[in-house]
Structure 1
Amino acid sequence: MAGDIDYKLHRFIDAQNGVYEQALLELKAGRKTSHWMWFIFPQISGLGTSAMAEKYAIRSAEEATAYLADPILSSRLLRCVEAILSVNGRSAHEILGSPDDFKLCSSMTLFAAISDHGSPFHQVIKHFYQGKFDERTMEILSASTD
């Protein structure tokens, strides 16, 4: 059963412990200055090739759903999304730099794809990316459901 699968989501919680509050402060300030993107805004597997990108990749829509079902991970992700949406007058590139601005689009595309329209993830896509989802993320998700 899908509910019995262990996605090892603790890897995200373990990585976030100790840096989550700093990440949240940086987002609220409108400028990312430290390294936490992989495990704060995870992407679908198949995009990044670094060891960190692979370790913190989400492997399926089902794993992303489990991530959002986890009360700690969901709360932290939503607080970070709210923080970045609260920054006025700055682009994702100005807040996160490159390539993290692209990683945010990929992450928000992943979570928007499994969420109701109008979710905070959709709001990030609309606000920072003119409503355009990350094409590669959508291709990977589509291929995994074929």
Structure 2
Amino acid sequence: MDNYEREAASLGLQRFVKAQEPLYNTVLKELQNGDKRTHWMWFIFPQIDGLGTSPTAMLYAIKDMEEAIAYAAHPVLGARLLECSLIVAGLNGKSAHDIFGFPDEAKLQSCITLFSIVSPTVTVFAEVLSKYFNNEKDQRTIKILHGYRS
């Protein structure tokens, strides 16, 4: 276990709450404007562990299905993920690349894929996949999740 994995394990979901707190209003404004400008993708739209390689990506990676389920059910994190996803789904006339740029558009697809699987009854995730990714889930995320189910 490296330092980032130890830190993530010791903080649990609180690592996301702590990271989001000072920036969340900025995140909402940027999303409402359809123009992400600052650095928050890792902890607002987190991906499954195994995709990102930077220290920040590893710190904020969702470690497994159980953590993804807990994130979605968390009263703050789940609500914020839903709110941000609804804003993105409601934007018109822009692609994911226009809103997020590279490589964050791919991170969005990975995150939304993860939570569409974890929370299949939450329709906004399917809406985002449909609107921005032609209903295509991120195959790397699916491959990693398939490993958890084997």
What TM-score does the superposition give when structure 1 sets the normalisation length? 0.93
CA shift for structure 1 position 61: 1.2
Mapping of 1:19-34 within 5 angstroms? Answer: 19-34=23-38
CA shift for structure 1 position 122: 1.4
RMSD: 1.5
SS at match of 2:51: coil
CA shift for structure 1 position 38: 0.2
Farther off after superposition, 64-73 or 118-127: 118-127
Mapped pair 1:93 → 2:74: no
Aligned partner of 2:41 in structure 1 is 37
CA shift for structure 1 position 116: 2.0
Number of residue pairs aligned between Structure 1 and Structure 2: 142
Q: Which runs of 5+ in 2 are unaligned?
A: 1-8
CA distance in 2, matches of 1:62, 1:119: 21
Moved beyond 6 Å, runs of 4+: none
Aligned partner of 2:74 in structure 1 is 70
CA shift for structure 1 position 7: 7.2
Mapping of 1:48-87 within 5 angstroms? Answer: 48-87=52-91
Identity of aligned residues (%): 46
Mapping of 1:134-145 within 5 angstroms? Answer: 134-145=138-149
Aligned partner of 1:106 in structure 2 is 110
Matched-pair contact (CA < 8 Å) for 1:7–1:63: no
